[in-house]
Amino acid sequence: MCGSVFGLWALTAAPASAGAWTRPAGSGLTITTASHHAFALSNPDAAFSKIETAIYAEYGLTDRLTVVGRVARETRFRRSERQITKAGATYTLSLNTVSQGWGELEAGLRLNAFQHRGWVVSTQLSAVRSPNDLENGLRAMPVWGSDARILLGRSLGGRMFADAQLAHRSRFVEGGAEQRMDLTFGVRPADRWLVMAQTYSAWGQRSGGSSYESHRLHISVTAPVADRLSLQFGATNSFYNDGLAPERAYMLALWREF
């Protein structure tokens, strides 16, 4: 079912913003994000978009163990049109709905398993609470699951880095699983400036047995605005989808270190 809106809850929430590196003990980071997401549905008489506000946080319990978490709230917009014929005339009925609800919630731990000469390998395990079905809005029951991933990071001199993450995401009920691969390349052209190119890929199977695939590209720039405070601008665009609606998104985020 190419272009279907079903199953998008597994993908629309942004992946964790941090890479394989853990936070120093006693230090933390919060990223507060506002974003707009639009989906190109295969049905020209329907449309879906959403506005998401989210807070991502991480805190170093020790130099090797970091707690991570994310909370998101969404406002969803749906439009559908249907033509009817009455008394020889054709009419177009338009239905527009707006709903609000929790997006994806996540809490977990990241462990630094190995670090040597610019290389770092970490593991991360999170509990995830996701909305169930876009079409049911607030009436849908949330689904609990887990996200287990391996993270590999590499410092490339003082101003560049690369990061790769492989993850398995599963649901505790209803079956279905998803494999993810997130790749990041970052450049620091000046102190506290950061330019990142990231790809988010997912291969999954719904509880009904149908499969899907999604690949998205995200480009962002982060610039300092005050001491320990930075502002990030970014855009996301799907470059290949099978079984899911392509996505285009724009985001603004405030990074705060403490």
Give residue-wise pLDDT tens across range 29-53.
999 999 999 998 877 778 889 999 9
Rounded Cα gap, residues 111 and 109, in angstroms: 7
Altogether, the residues listed in the chain come to a count of 258
Q: What pTM was computed for the model?
A: 0.86
Rounded Cα gap, residues 218 and 236, in angstroms: 4
9-257: CATH topology is Lipocalin (2.40.128)
Q: What pLDDT is recorded for position 133?
A: 57
Rounded Cα gap, residues 148 and 108, in angstroms: 9
Q: What pLDDT is recorded for position 137?
A: 47
pLDDT tens-digit profile of 142-162?
A: 888 999 999 999 999 889 999
Out of 74-78, 110-114, 171-175, give the one with best mean pLDDT. 110-114
Classify residue 88 as left (phi > 0), alpha (psi -120 to 50) or beta: left
Q: What pLDDT is recorded for position 84?
A: 77
How confident is the model over 16-20, as a mean pLDDT? 67
The sign of the torsion formed by the CA atoms of 185, 235, 105, 131 equals negative
Tokens of 97: 């709905």
- Mean pLDDT, rounded, of the chain: 87
Q: What share of the chain is helix, strand, coil (3-state, %, to 5)?
A: 5, 70, 30
Which CA distances in Å does 182 have to 32, 40, 50, 167, 225?
21, 23, 23, 8, 28
Selected residue with higher pLDDT from 151 and 79: 151
Selected residue with higher pLDDT from 248 and 7: 248
How confident is the model over 181-200, as a mean pLDDT? 95
How confident is the model over 242-251, as a mean pLDDT? 92
Classify residue 15 as left (phi > 0), alpha (psi -120 to 50) or beta: beta
Confidence band of 22 (pLDDT split at 50, 70, 90): very high
Q: What pLDDT is recorded for position 41?
A: 82
Q: What pLDDT is recorded for position 7?
A: 47
